[in-house]
Amino acid sequence: MQHTNHNGTGIHQRREHPVEADSIPREPLDLNRVRSIDDLVRAMAKTGFTGRGIGVAADVLEAMARDKDCFVVMTLAGAITVANQGLIVSELIDRGIVNAIVSTGELMVPGLIEARPNLKDEEEVISEILESWDHNDVLCSYKLNHAIGEHLARRSKDQRGILKSAYEKGVPVFVPAFTGSELGLEVALNIRLRESTGRHKLRFDPFEDLEHFSATLLRQTRLGIFTIGGGVPLNWSQQFVPFLELRRRRLGENLPLKSYHYCVSICPEPVLAGESSPIHSEPEFVLASEGGKFAEVSLDATVGVPLILAAVLERLGKNKNGTAKNADRATKAKAAARK
């Protein structure tokens, strides 16, 4: 590995091969010995093909969850919340396993409505929040999602939802392609309404998201990424790594080199994740750290995610207050989200 002086030239790392599933001995799957979902997934890890991949993914996700120094980013694309599986994400947040979310905007709308089951759409909530927004406070996706979560925590105390859980646990939720979502259109309409009525327009700056995400990850000891689908959320989450590298090389900033130590990727086909896959990444920028643990499963997320998560949660126990690694992280993250 070539090291650098602190002159912004950066360094290159060699990324080691992902965890070899072949290191796990193969055994016939005997259903007579299966007594739980975890038993089944552990047995599948000793078989082949996608079944083996599910077992390895559960092992890596468990390691990620148990690592007290690991900050876990979850990326969401596809139909996980549209398919009424959003409470799985809420559970990960509530347990303290996931510490930041990067998602498509369309997946956050069901996350909003889950906590307001009598709400026909998101217009009522968004309108109330935007009408009271101080025009001097620049908008970005994580700030708006935080405000929505706060609203839901006050108004829907007996309901669950992704944004409500994220607010309560101090988990920032980023939507990189914000203008391509219903939430984005609601903001655009509010801007036009303010302009037509002679009021100050709201300003939206996506780079506030990038800077907050980067600053948050820079403070962490170790990073993990749990990605469902691929696309913009995954690519944007990984841009953090070349962003730091370019700041070192071109701006001369004295920054540590960061990368993801753990990675679990679930996508129907590897090609759908595209070149942004953490395991199939561009060689000039290292997105997965040496000695890390990685697993990639080619599977419909609505099948693989519940199975993998149910097994991991069995292993972690029934503690609803989250893992030990996040005892005070929620309080700190809430304070950061207000900045």
Could you tell me the strand order of the sheet in which 173-174 lies? 173-174, 100-103, 70-76, 222-228, 260-267, 288-298
Q: pLDDT tens for residues 62-112?
A: 999 999 999 999 999 877 777 778 889 999 999 999 999 999 887 776 555
pLDDT bucket at 197, cuts 50 / 70 / 90? very high
Q: Is the pLDDT of residue 7 over 50?
A: no
Q: Is the pLDDT of residue 17 over 70?
A: no
What DSSP assignment string belongs to 165-220?
HHHHHT--EE-TTGGGSHHHHHHHHHHHHHHHTTPPPP-B-HHHHHHHHHHHHHT-
- 27-36, 62-71, 90-99, 168-177: segment of lowest average pLDDT: 27-36
pLDDT greater at residue 140 or residue 5? 140
Average pLDDT (304-329) is 74
What global pTM score does this model have?
0.83
| Topology (CATH level 3) of domain 23-337 | Deoxyhypusine Synthase (3.40.910)
Output the pLDDT for position 269.
Answer: 64
Average pLDDT of the residues of the chain: 81
Instruction: With CA atoms as reference, report the closest residue to 125 among 155, 99, 97.
Output: 155
Grade residue 277 by pLDDT with cuts at 50, 70 and 90.
low
What share of the chain in percent tops pLDDT 70? 76
Q: Is the pLDDT of residue 323 over 60?
A: no
**Signed CA dihedral, 181, 186, 187, 192: sign only:** positive
Spatial contact of 223 and 73, defined as CB atoms under 8 Å apart: yes
Over 60: is that where the pLDDT of 324 sits? no
Helix, strand, or coil (residue 28): coil
CA distances, 182 to each of 121, 176, 178, 280 (Å):
10, 13, 9, 31
pLDDT band at 117 (very low <50, low <70, confident <90, very high): low
Token digits of residue 18: 């992902």
Inform me whether the pLDDT recorded for 115 exceeds 60: no
pLDDT, residue 329, reads 54
Please determine, for residue 169, whether its predicted confidence score (pLDDT) is greater than 90: yes
122 pLDDT higher than 90: no
- Give percent above pLDDT 90 in the chain: 54
Looking at residues 219-242, what average pLDDT do you find? 92
The burial of 283, by beta-carbon neighbours within 10 Å (0-12 exposed, 13-18 middle, 19 or more buried), is given as exposed
Spatial contact of 80 and 89, defined as CB atoms under 8 Å apart: yes
Assess whether pLDDT exceeds 80 at residue 22.
no
* Top mean-pLDDT range of 72-86, 132-146, 284-298: 132-146
